[in-house]
Amino acid sequence: MTTGAGVRAKGRGRGRGVLLPALAALATAQWPVLVHAASPAGFTIGLEPSYFTGRFGTRHTIHIYDLPLSITYRHRNLRLRVELPYIAVTGAGIVAGQSIIASTGSGAVRSGPGDMWLKAEYRLDRARGVRPSFEPYVKVKVPVASYAKGLGTGRFDEEAGLRMVWRAGTRVFPYLQLGYRIVGRLPALHLQNVVTFEPGVAVAVAPRQFLSVIVIGHTPIQKRRTAVASAILAYNLRMNFRWELQVYATRGLTSQSAAFGAGFGVMAHF
- Confirm whether 8 is domain-assigned: no
Specify the number of domains making up the chain. Answer: 1
- What residues make up the domain containing 175? 17-269
- Confirm whether 251 is domain-assigned: yes
- Confirm whether 6 is domain-assigned: no
- Confirm whether 210 is domain-assigned: yes
CATH of residue 111: 2.40.128.130
Rounded to two decimals, the pTM is 0.83
- Confirm whether 2 is domain-assigned: no
Strand order in the sheet with 94-96: 17-19, 99-101, 94-96
Is 60 exceeded by the pLDDT of residue 141?
A: yes
Mean pLDDT of all residues belonging to the chain: 81
Side chain identity at 222, as an amino acid letter?
Q
Q: Lowest-confidence range among 3-7, 89-93, 122-126, 208-212?
A: 3-7
- Confirm whether 4 is domain-assigned: no
Q: What is the CA radius of gyration of the chain?
A: 18
- Confirm whether 218 is domain-assigned: yes
- Confirm whether 7 is domain-assigned: no
Confidence of residue 253 (pLDDT cuts 50, 70, 90): very high
Q: Using CB atoms within 10 A of its CB, is residue 130 exposed (0-12), middle (13-18) or buried (19+)?
A: exposed
